Chains A and B, each alone.
Chain A
Amino acid sequence: MSALWTAGVAGLLFAFGLGLGGMTDPARVQGFLDVTGSWNPTLAFVMGGALAVHAPLSWLIRRRKTPVLAPAFPNVSHTQLDRRLLGGAALFGVGWGLSGYCPGPVLVSLAGGTGTVLLFVASMFAGMWLFGWWERSRATAPQPQGDLSSS
């Protein structure tokens, strides 16, 4: 079995999970986030179910030396809580709250065929591209000079 087959099956299964869990219904996602209004706690059970399965399984899987079809497990040793992590998560949360869509569910919702979903997906990729551009431009930006007072 090739690594492409397993990736495809994982994607398919992920979509079924998101759909069954109700993550592909933006009104329900907003209902979950509406903690001061008519709070709908159902989506907490989606994360609960995912963690209940993935936490023990990933612990077991990582006891293997290598994955079945790949040379190594990803290195996730980074533990720093920095401004990028929290700032990025904060921006993402605002977009998520506004629309009720996060990256997985909105890609599954492409099947719904609405122009709104298409526009969201295009903007999401534009945002990802913009991030890459921003990061590259920061890496190559001229460093501030020590003394510019005479210029």
Chain B
Amino acid sequence: MHPFLVALVGGALIGLSASLLLLFNGRIAGISGIAGGLLSQRTRAELAWRITFLLGLVGGGFVLRLLWPQVLGAPVVTGPAWVAAAGLLVGFGTRLGNGCTSGHGVCGISRGARRSIAATLTFMATGAATVFLVRHVLGGES
């Protein structure tokens, strides 16, 4: 199957998952919001659905590892300081900006939210600028 078609089907599954969560649970499938909610004070019911969703997400990774291990690509950055810095930026940034690729890029744009369109353009731009800097200015594969 053509790689574009595989990507399209993968995207469709993401869209279907977000639709299920909205239809049944009345929730936005923004991963940073679901994960970040574990850390703020919440009721037991709030924690329970977040944990179950994330267990499904992590469990899905284990199923993929069994059926199609090559989709779990190797990390490109392995220097511990860089990995930790990137993780901190992703964690802090997604909470400050109220969302990530899934919450803004998929769910927000789907309902035509101006905030989400602006956020998506912003993180795509700084992501591209970072890759440009790392690959073409500093000249490494990072």
Contact = CB atoms under 8 A, between A and B. Distances in A.
A51 B107 CA distance: 8
A126 B88 contact: yes
Given A10-B21, A98-B85, A111 B64 contact: yes
Given A15-B64, A49-B14, A54-B106, A71 B26 contact: yes
Interface string B41-70: 000000011101111111111111100100
B98 A10 contact: no
Nearest to A34: B131
Contact of B61 (A51, A72, A112): A112
A24 B64 contact: yes
Given A7-B56, A98-B89, A116-B78, A68 B24 contact: yes
Contacts of A132: 39-40, 95
A148 interface: no
Given A6-B21, A35-B128, A99-B90, 4 more contacts: A7-B56, A20-B13, A85-B98, A93-B126
Given A12-B57, A93-B126, A49 B28 contact: no
Interface of A: 1, 3-28, 30, 33-37, 42-43, 45-55, 57-59, 61-62, 64, 66-74, 76, 78-81, 84-104, 106-112, 114, 116-117, 119-132, 134
Given A13-B13, A125-B39, A130 B7 contact: no
Contacts of A112: 61, 65, 72, 74
- Where chain A touches its partner, the secondary structure class is helix
B58 A104 contact: no
Contact of A127 (B17, B95, B107, B132): B95
Given A3-B49, A53-B15, A69-B25, A79 B90 contact: no
A97 B61 contact: no
A91 B35 contact: no
A15 B93 contact: no
Contact of A57 (B15, B27, B55): B15
Contacts of B114: 79, 81
Contacts of A24: 61, 64, 71-73
